[in-house]
Amino acid sequence: MTTIAEIISQAGGALHKRDLRRLGATDRHLTAAVRLGQVRRPRRGWYTTFGLRDPRYIALRVGGRLTGMSALVASADPWRWSRRQPPVTVSVPRNASRLRRMRDVRVVYDPPGVQDRGNAWSVHAFDALARAVLDAPFEEAVAVLRWAEASELFTPDQAAEVVSSLPNDARRIHEWVDDGYASFTECIAGTRLKLADFTIETQADVNERQAIDFVVNDVVGLEIDGRQFHESTFESDRTKDLAIAVEGRVPIRASYNMVKEIWPRVEAAIVSAITMHRRGGHDARGENGGATRRAACKPIRTRGKRPWRIAPTPRRSEVAAFCAQSADPP
């Protein structure tokens, strides 16, 4: 005989009482399952198999569903700094009432379109990604968007659709996403380099068999190591460093912890290497040309509900006028 807990688990971990009744459950069955600890009732009418500290249980208890990064973490494995659970963000309808306020839980009021899709405990991945992009610090927002493009959860077209659904002053974030970023750490480093006005080339060929994570101002070959040290790749990494030097660039290698904890020192080392290169009479071509990647417009930090904004895309007439002013005279 199928138990109440099995029915709920097969449905994704949470069901409303009316759905359980349609499946043949009675009030006596539900009461017994709760008393035996097989299921929990986070809120009147709702039954779940999630634990008390599970963000999905917390969202149900508040009276809504997970959204933003907390929803993505519950259903996938997005790029982020830590494996710890992010702060719980709960989506509720704009006319929601009788919500349970809980410590360290953020409640956001979403329009009907968001409420019409998703499952019992989470908004749709499309809406969760849009919320995560808007809520995160800028460099992390770029990283989660790049993760979406590379993940199986979204197609590139769906990720682009998420960008088009953002507020007008956030859509230009796509200019900062580079398909050469292969990890969260690389994405953070690349965004910081662009913010500091360096010009970069991603995944540049070296030694005809390997690729450099970043060529900075055509001078520095910057390699970003992952969270864990891999002894098996030590020799090949050092060989790549030699190849970078042989090609006339300065090899610099930064670990995950260096990017996270002491990035200013990494940046200072890059500046020092570029400065010494100039003194040596070499041409730092990346500063004025060459194969470079740089975002067109920088984000602006804000003190409001959102941590960043970007100037909206200018109209075609404005772009034409700017180009006319910038053109060299005949």
Indicate whether 44 and 68 sit together in one domain.
no
- pLDDT at residue 322, as a whole number: 39
Is position 322 within any domain?
A: no
Indicate whether 16 and 101 sit together in one domain.
no
Segment 235-248 mean pLDDT:
76
> In which domain, by residue range, is 240 found?
184-287
Segment 242-266 mean pLDDT:
90
Indicate whether 45 and 68 sit together in one domain.
no
Is position 103 within any domain?
A: yes
Q: Is the dihedral of CA 130, 132, 138, 144 positive or negative?
A: negative
Segment 316-326 mean pLDDT:
46
Is position 316 within any domain?
A: no
Is position 229 within any domain?
A: yes
Is position 237 within any domain?
A: yes
Number of independent structural domains in the chain: 3
Say yes or no to pLDDT of 257 above 60: yes
Is position 306 within any domain?
A: no
| DSSP code, position 180 | T
Is position 323 within any domain?
A: no
SS3 84: coil
State the average pLDDT for the chain.
86
Nearest CA among 188, 213, 75, 212 for reference residue 138: 188
- pLDDT at residue 319, as a whole number: 41
Indicate whether 142 and 207 sit together in one domain.
no
Indicate whether 214 and 144 sit together in one domain.
no
Give the model's confidence band at 234: pLDDT under 50 very low, under 70 low, under 90 confident, else very high: low
Length of the chain: 330
Is position 296 within any domain?
A: no
H-helix or E-strand spanning residue 42: strand 40-43
Indicate whether 30 and 134 sit together in one domain.
no
Indicate whether 79 and 39 sit together in one domain.
no
Other Cβ atoms less than 10 A from the Cβ of 29: the count is: 15
Segment 6-25 mean pLDDT:
94
Segment 157-182 mean pLDDT:
93
Residue with the bigger pLDDT between 309 and 206: it is 309
